[in-house]
Structure 1
Amino acid sequence: MADSNITKHALATALRELMTELPFEKINVAHICERCGMNRKSFYYHFKDKYDLVNWIFDTEIIFLVRDEDLETSYEKHWEFIEKICFYFYENHAFYRKALQIQGQNSFADHFREYIRPLLSARLAYLYANEPIDEFALDFFTDAIVCTVERWLLKKDCLPPEQFVEKIKSLTEKGAASIYREMTQEKDKIS
């Protein structure tokens, strides 16, 4: 198992280096293998294609990052978790900026979307007092998050993560407070 991880990490390092030099669409498996001194057979033993390798990099690093997180915590802890994820993306901005530009089947954006759907589903179930969450609501919030993160990371000089998260938190809280205020005013008019 250790040898397998060493091989995977070597291939990942090679791909990361190549992505600083070439557009992703110009990189092929032969380039990756040549960069780390391996053969194509080794690559295909571990990964289906270069898209699979990009997604493995994310999965491996994000699992390491969030493995000890308790997602059943307080409101402030949820924001700290979001900021932690954003710091990870910011620190790896150059890589994810290119990864998010990958188009088509097996794109990183699609993989990221599928990764966050269950997290959002659990959070929405909690917020909606365990009411079933329909696909429309889940798609709406998933798309909002993916689009926002993409727009943030695709800017060459993107905001630092603490500012990015603070903007999202402020918009969320102000929006919720405004909606609550409007609903309360409507109820007061009816009473």
Structure 2
Amino acid sequence: MEEIPFDKIRIADICNRCDMNRKSFYYHFKDKYDLLNWIFDTEFISFAKDLSQAEELNEHVDAVQNICNYFYENRDFYRKALQTEGQNSFPEHFRAYVMPIMKLRIEYLFGDSEDEFTLNFFTDAAVATIERWLLDKNCMSPDDFLNKLMHIVQQGAEALHNELNREE
């Protein structure tokens, strides 16, 4: 994807580059989108595990920091991956990957993960925020991104709490 746009990459190109025959490729992958998603899955699994096992806020923040660092270090790859379109595209896969992680967090925070609206809301917010950050041509550092994110969440929660208590 550094040399050729993803939509122009053919299975034959991948096979030639890897000295692999098409039959072997299709034994392992459905298509080039499946390969792209596999790259993400194999590299991201440890981060997802840390995030899903985080119980305390500081553990959760540390896990998110590690995820942000990973995406930032690999931002050229993920900028291109996030722009893929079509069936089995990376943005669809990424959203499907984030959803169960958000479900665990919603269960922890609200005690209910069966509310599809809440799950979709938080999943979409997380995915869109990460996409916007990575796709920005002046992509800020992971530390700045996480600090701004934490500030918005904390200030928003505090402002909402204050406003709700003021009305009582």
The TM-score, its normalising length taken from structure 2, stands at 0.95
CA distance in 2, matches of 1:78, 1:43: 37
Instruction: List aligned pairs for 1:33-182, cutoff 5 A.
Output: 33-67=15-49, 71-128=53-110, 130-182=111-163
Query: How far, CA to CA, are the matches of 1:82 and 1:72 in structure 2?
Result: 10
How far apart are residue 173 of structure 1 and its match? 0.2
- 1:70 Cα deviation after fit: 6.3
1:6-37 Cα distance to aligned partner (Å, 9 max, x none): xxxxxxxxxxxxx0001100001100011111
Q: How far apart are residue 59 of structure 1 and its match?
A: 0.4
Greater Cα shift, 21-30 or 130-139: 130-139
Contact 1:120 1:138 (C-alpha < 8 Å) held by counterparts:
yes
Q: Cα–Cα, structure 1 residues 66 and 134, in superposed 2: closer, same or farther, change >3 Å?
A: closer
Question: Could you tell me whether the CA contact under 8 Å between 2:6 and 2:80 is conserved in 1?
Answer: yes
1:155 and 1:179 map into 2 onto residues whose CA distance is 29
Aligned equivalent of 1:10: none
Unaligned runs of 5+ in 1: 1-18
- The CA deviation string for residues 16-66 of structure 1, in whole angstroms up to 9 with x for no partner, is xxx000110000110001111111111111100000000000000011444
Alpha-carbon RMSD across the aligned residues, in angstroms, is 1.4
Higher-Rg member (1/2): 1
Tell me the residue number matched to 1:23. Answer: 5
Query: Is the 1:124–1:133 contact (alpha carbons within 8 Å) kept by the matching residues of 2?
Result: no
Stretch deviating more after TM superposition (153-162 or 86-95) = 153-162
Separation in structure 1 between the aligned mates of residue 87 and residue 68 of structure 2, nearest angstrom: 25
CA distance in 2, matches of 1:169, 1:93: 21
Amino acid at match of 1:106: N
Question: Take 2:104 and 2:47, find their aligned partners in 1: how far apart are those partners?
Answer: 19
Sort the Cα spacing of 1:67 and 1:132 in 2 relative to 1 into closer, same or farther, 3 A.
Answer: closer
**Greater Cα offset, 131-140 or 96-105:** 131-140
Going from structure 1 to structure 2, the CA distance change for 1:41 and 1:63 (only over 3 Å counts) comes to same
Letter aligned with residue 177 of structure 1: E
CA–CA distance in structure 2, aligned partners of residues 152 and 158 of structure 1? 6
